[in-house]
Amino acid sequence: MGTRLLSEHLIKQYHPQLRYVRAHTTGKHAATIYAWNENLELTEKEADEVGRFADQYLAPYVCFRVKAYSQLQEDRVPALGELPERIVATALRRDLDQREVLSVLNEMIGGGRATFIRYDYHSGTLHFNVHTAKALTDIEKELILRYASEIVPLGSRCEIAYWSGDARPLYC
């Protein structure tokens, strides 16, 4: 399972001339790689090399586009914030699987439980339920979704339904 962080790490490892690299899910099984070299540009040759690398070595189910790093803002790609070390370490694992994703989500929730509900192939969305004893704040929900998004495969999105107390779970 190739996450955003793992994909960026591999691209930088095989293309050390690239100073800035950012991968972003743009749709169902689609992602864009934004890159710049030391001169804050992306040559046509570099773009072609990164594109061929992505097609050969990154997630085979993802269609990649390569763009100059300067297009991040134009494409309205959200800014990155700090991530807990546990999320980074998990996202960089090459053998990451559904069990590990749920384990990390459950660690983050503390006093709650995350369950995988289904994968919607048509939209490329993983659906999870999170049950907690007490209601979560909007900030807590936002952080859980943000961290979950970092440990699901690049080219996929995730949605989380929250319920607390005696409320019944949503099975979508």
The backbone region for 110, taken as left when phi is positive above 0, alpha when psi lies in -120 to 50, beta otherwise, is left
- Domain boundary at 48, 74, 100, which? 74
CA 9 – CA 134 distance, rounded (Å): 38
Residue-level pLDDT at 72: 94
55 and 13 co-located in one domain: yes
- The reply to whether 171 falls in a domain is no
Asked if residue 37 has pLDDT above 90, the reply is yes
- The reply to whether 52 falls in a domain is yes
More confident position, 166 or 86: 86
CA 50 – CA 74 distance, rounded (Å): 21
More confident position, 108 or 58: 58
Helix H or strand E encompassing 57: helix 44-57
- Domain boundary at 53, 74, 95, which? 74
Contact 153, 23 (CB under 8 A): no
Residue 110 — very low, low, confident or very high, per pLDDT cuts 50/70/90? confident
Residue-level pLDDT at 169: 55
Distances in whole angstroms, Cα of residue 34 to Cα of each of 24, 68, 115, 133: 8, 5, 33, 41
- The reply to whether 48 falls in a domain is yes
- What's the CATH number where 148 sits? 3.30.300
- The reply to whether 172 falls in a domain is no
Asked if residue 3 has pLDDT above 90, the reply is yes
- What is the span of the domain harbouring residue 17? 4-74
Q: What is the pTM of this model?
A: 0.88
What integer is the mean pLDDT of 50-66?
94
Contact 151, 90 (CB under 8 A): yes
49 and 91 co-located in one domain: no
- Domain boundary at 74, 105, 125, which? 74
Which tens digit of pLDDT belongs to each residue from 71-96?
999 999 988 889 999 999 999 999 88
Q: Which two tokens stand for residue 169?
A: 């779970």
Structural domains in the chain (count):
2
70 and 89 co-located in one domain: no
- The reply to whether 125 falls in a domain is yes
Residue-level pLDDT at 167: 59
C-alpha angle with apex 141: 81 to 73, nearest 5 degrees? 35
123 and 159 co-located in one domain: yes
- The reply to whether 79 falls in a domain is no
C-alpha angle with apex 71: 11 to 55, nearest 5 degrees? 35
8 and 32 co-located in one domain: yes
When the pLDDT of each residue in the chain is averaged and rounded to a whole number, the result is 91
89 and 160 co-located in one domain: yes
Residue-level pLDDT at 168: 59
- The reply to whether 80 falls in a domain is no
46 and 103 co-located in one domain: no
92 and 61 co-located in one domain: no
Share of residues in the chain with pLDDT > 90 (%)? 77
Residue-level pLDDT at 172: 46
What integer is the mean pLDDT of 122-127?
92
